[in-house]
Chain A
Amino acid sequence: MRIGMPHMGNVYIPFKALFRRLNVDFVLPPVSNRRTLSLGVRYSPEGLCLPFKLTLGNLIEAAELGADTLLMPSGYGICRLGYYASTQEQILHDMGYDNVEVVKVDFSEHKLSGLLKIIKRLSNNAPWTRIIPAFRIGLAKLKTLDKMERLVQKVRPVELVKGTANKLYAKAIKAIDEAEDSKALKKIEKAYINQFNQVAKDPQAQPLIVGIVGEFYVLLEPFSSLDVESELGKLGVEVRRRLFLSDWTKFTLFLNSLGINETARIHKAALPYLKRDIGGDGWESVGEKVLHAKEYDGLIHLAPFTCMPEIVARNIMPSTKENIPVLTILCDEQITKTGMLTRLEAFVDLLERKRRVRHNS
């Protein structure tokens, strides 16, 4: 049994750490790239969203490397996600990968215990005394990764030499990936926090603040949005994002079962315009617009083309009383860098003008 999995940002690092510690045969497909996308697009039904197409591309590339047990997130809900694993399995079988099995990583019902049970099955029934420490180091890596990402989001817009923060971030990711235990991880974290603080910054910079909202996958996979956060950083804009995988796992796996819900506040804000959960992240998109209208200069709404919940959200968002400029970027295989950059530049110009007018009056 050789395990493979699709990419979503840096999520491969914790999984790699986890499986290595459990001595599981694990292959990592190449990070999402043009080939992944064209493979995914070629074999997917046309009307499906980019997350489906890209993850299918990842799974095909993993199967090419000999993986026969592919992990794919799944779950009961309203979005199409629940069907992805089985459809992708059919597609892989039709392509000739006959003995490939796509395992549904479904923890929508039995949160933590569900996930741990899947890990136990994949690790060939390893004892819990080995699974728990491995799981913990995975979580620790995830947390450190997100800390680094938060830092790089802050430094990017104000650095003097453009690109320094990104280079440092890439190095940090590599170091975290290679860290052997939690002690080394702590050391790395400290060292890189220091280095980020020492990056030469423009003392007079007053970056615009733009919130990034939208669908889970395109927010967390930079390839799918052509790394919109980094591009905004180059334009001198600080991005704020609520969604980080470490927070999400913390709430979904642990705190939600205790009745603590981080999204309750957002849902409450959305209530006057959207009264019910519509699946995916649609409710949150509307709520965050209402919530951040006063705090941020603008919002960027990322959504995959044909995403059902986000279409509803996009229809509702313009009608809110709380007003803030929103730029919607639809992510699909047709998106191009130049097109996106032009739109981003125009959007940032507009926000700057708006701020100037506000300051003058």
Chain B
Amino acid sequence: MIRVGIPRALLYYQYYPMWKVFFEELGAEVVVSPPTTQNMLSEGSSRVVADTCLAVKVFLGHVLSLVEECDCIFIPAVRSVKRKAYSCSKLLGLPDMTRAVIPESPPILEIDIDVNKGKPALYRAIYRLGRHFTWNPFEVRRAGIAAWRANLDYQQLMCKQGLMPPEAIEKIAGTPQVKPETHTDYPAPTRATIAIIGHSYFLYDEHISYRLIHRLKRAQNRVLTPEMLTTDELESATARLVGKAQWTCDHEVVGAGGHYLNSKADGVIGLMTFGCGPDSLLMDTLHRQANRSKTTPFMSLTLEEHTAEAGVITRLEAFLDMIERRKRRQVAVCV
């Protein structure tokens, strides 16, 4: 049986159930890299030029950890999943970049996803990917349909039941979560509702985000994330803030941020990493919006390899204290 490696980074959090079903239907075994460690991050960083973004460095670390574990690695080049909205250059060039900086990697299974080229081109691309496992186009079609269903189920789980991607992945695909004990014993969320926005590959990577979600929940806060919003909500907020979306990730940053800034959330935290191209603009747009509307407190946290845990915690505590004081004052005024 062919073992297909899937790095637990970047688009993993958005599409893993779909990929897993696709490859398993075609008779392959799927191997996922373990959760991010400091070692992976430094190994990944050592391969690329310094100003490559943190997410790509982490991704390469995951690829390196899979080198011995599988026969081929699946790295898609997702150019566009929505008409006239593209991904960032680094996602596009991901297969080529990996091949260049990790020459020892096993063969790379790549697929170009670009909906602007029309459905026939997309189906051809999927078939070409399936060709590595079977010559039979009907079998590829069956696997593709099953994969798409899995993807819809996954999105339903997150949107309707408010599950976070790692929990939803666990429920659907059975891949055990990183720390199963963490999400069971949280105290009741009585203090505040905090929306946290950013790319899923930062938010749910506990090593990069310093377990931000976990910390917020432990401090008795309710946590909202971009995945809990419907496409309509995201789209209307994006349209209000930047007009027509040009990037695939517009929704999860500007859309979700814009929505939560105008909602009942007590505070919004924007999580970005240094060197992220789209975020440098999108977070700034949100910052401006928050400054102008002055309705909901907004804090943006920029993470990189040199970020210290203590620094993040201090800022988080200060932000939560500020929100608490603000709430107290509001109550006093009402009385």
Residues of A whose CB lies within 8 Å of any CB of B are: 45-48, 76-80, 82-83, 86-87, 90, 94, 273-280, 282, 305-306, 308-309, 311-312, 314-316, 318-319, 330
Structural contact, B92 and A78, CB atoms closer than 8 A: yes
Residues on the B chain within 8 Å of A306, using CB = 51, 275, 277, 280
**Given A83-B246, A276-B77, A276-B92 in contact, is the A46-B49 Cβ separation under 8 Å?**
no
The distance in angstroms between the C-alpha atoms of A26 and B95, with both chains bound, is 47
Structural contact, A315 and B101, CB atoms closer than 8 A: yes
Residues on the A chain within 8 Å of B77, using CB = 276
Closest to A320 in B: B100
Residues on the A chain within 8 Å of B112, using CB = 276
**Given A47-B274, A273-B96 in contact, is the A319-B246 Cβ separation under 8 Å?**
no
Closest to B112 in A: A276
**Given A45-B281, A87-B281 in contact, is the A276-B242 Cβ separation under 8 Å?**
no
- Contact residues of B between 10 and 44, Cβ < 8 Å to A: none
B46 to chain A, nearest CB (A): 12
**Given A78-B89, A278-B89, A278-B93 in contact, is the A315-B242 Cβ separation under 8 Å?**
no
Structural contact, B49 and A315, CB atoms closer than 8 A: yes
B89 contact from A79, A82, A318, Cβ within 8 A: A79
B221 in the interface (beta carbon within 8 A): no
B243 in the interface (beta carbon within 8 A): yes
Residues on the A chain within 8 Å of B103, using CB = 319
Can you list 26 A-B contacts (CB < 8 A)? A45-B281, A47-B275, A47-B277, A47-B279, A48-B280, A78-B89, A78-B92, A86-B243, A273-B99, A274-B93, A275-B96, A276-B77, A276-B92, A276-B96, A277-B92, A278-B92, A279-B89, A280-B89, A282-B93, A308-B89, A312-B89, A315-B48, A315-B49, A316-B97, A319-B101, A330-B51
B276 in the interface (beta carbon within 8 A): yes
Structural contact, B49 and A78, CB atoms closer than 8 A: no
Residues on the B chain within 8 Å of A48, using CB = 280-281
Residues on the A chain within 8 Å of B315, using CB = none
The distance in angstroms between the C-alpha atoms of A227 and B288, with both chains bound, is 35
Closest to B292 in A: A94
Structural contact, A94 and B288, CB atoms closer than 8 A: yes
The distance in angstroms between the C-alpha atoms of A273 and B90, with both chains bound, is 15
The distance in angstroms between the C-alpha atoms of A63 and B266, with both chains bound, is 38
Instruction: Choose among A278, A279, A309 the residue with the greatest number of B CB atoms under 10 Å from its CB.
Output: A278
Residues on the B chain within 8 Å of A318, using CB = 100
The distance in angstroms between the C-alpha atoms of A306 and B280, with both chains bound, is 10
B84 in the interface (beta carbon within 8 A): yes
B93 contact from A90, A94, A312, A319, Cβ within 8 A: A312
- Contact residues of B between 237 and 268, Cβ < 8 Å to A: 242-243, 246
B193 in the interface (beta carbon within 8 A): no
Instruction: Choose among B51, B96, B279, B281 the residue with the greatest number of A CB atoms under 10 Å from its CB.
Output: B96
Instruction: Choose among B89, B103, B281 the residue with the greatest number of A CB atoms under 10 Å from its CB.
Output: B89
B177 in the interface (beta carbon within 8 A): no
Residues on the B chain within 8 Å of A279, using CB = 86, 89, 92
The distance in angstroms between the C-alpha atoms of A330 and B89, with both chains bound, is 18
Closest to B278 in A: A80
Bitwise, B48-66 to A at CB < 8 A (1) or not (0) is 1101110000000000000
Structural contact, B96 and A316, CB atoms closer than 8 A: yes
The distance in angstroms between the C-alpha atoms of A319 and B100, with both chains bound, is 6
Structural contact, A76 and B84, CB atoms closer than 8 A: yes
B122 to chain A, nearest CB (A): 15
B79 in the interface (beta carbon within 8 A): yes
A288 to chain B, nearest CB (A): 16
Residues on the A chain within 8 Å of B88, using CB = 78, 308
Residues on the A chain within 8 Å of B243, using CB = 86
The distance in angstroms between the C-alpha atoms of A45 and B88, with both chains bound, is 18
Structural contact, A46 and B280, CB atoms closer than 8 A: yes
The distance in angstroms between the C-alpha atoms of A318 and B48, with both chains bound, is 10
B87 in the interface (beta carbon within 8 A): yes
Closest to B280 in A: A47
Additional pairs, 11, CB under 8 Å, beyond known A312-B90, A315-B52: A47-B274, A48-B280, A79-B89, A80-B281, A90-B285, A273-B99, A276-B92, A276-B93, A305-B51, A306-B51, A319-B103
The distance in angstroms between the C-alpha atoms of A48 and B97, with both chains bound, is 22
**For the complex of A and B, 9 pairs with smallest distance between CB atoms:** A47-B280, A45-B284, A312-B93, A319-B100, A308-B89, A308-B277, A278-B93, A316-B100, A278-B89
The distance in angstroms between the C-alpha atoms of A282 and B49, with both chains bound, is 15
A78 contact from B86, B97, B274, B288, Cβ within 8 A: B86
The distance in angstroms between the C-alpha atoms of A278 and B280, with both chains bound, is 19
Residues on the B chain within 8 Å of A76, using CB = 84, 246
Residues on the B chain within 8 Å of A330, using CB = 51
Residues on the B chain within 8 Å of A314, using CB = 49
Structural contact, B288 and A90, CB atoms closer than 8 A: yes
Residues on the B chain within 8 Å of A77, using CB = 86
Structural contact, B100 and A315, CB atoms closer than 8 A: yes
Residues on the A chain within 8 Å of B52, using CB = 311, 315
Structural contact, B93 and A316, CB atoms closer than 8 A: yes
A320 to chain B, nearest CB (A): 8
The distance in angstroms between the C-alpha atoms of A309 and B97, with both chains bound, is 11
A85 to chain B, nearest CB (A): 11
Residues on the A chain within 8 Å of B277, using CB = 47, 80, 306, 308
Residues on the B chain within 8 Å of A46, using CB = 280
Closest to B88 in A: A308
A47 to chain B, nearest CB (A): 3
The distance in angstroms between the C-alpha atoms of A80 and B100, with both chains bound, is 24
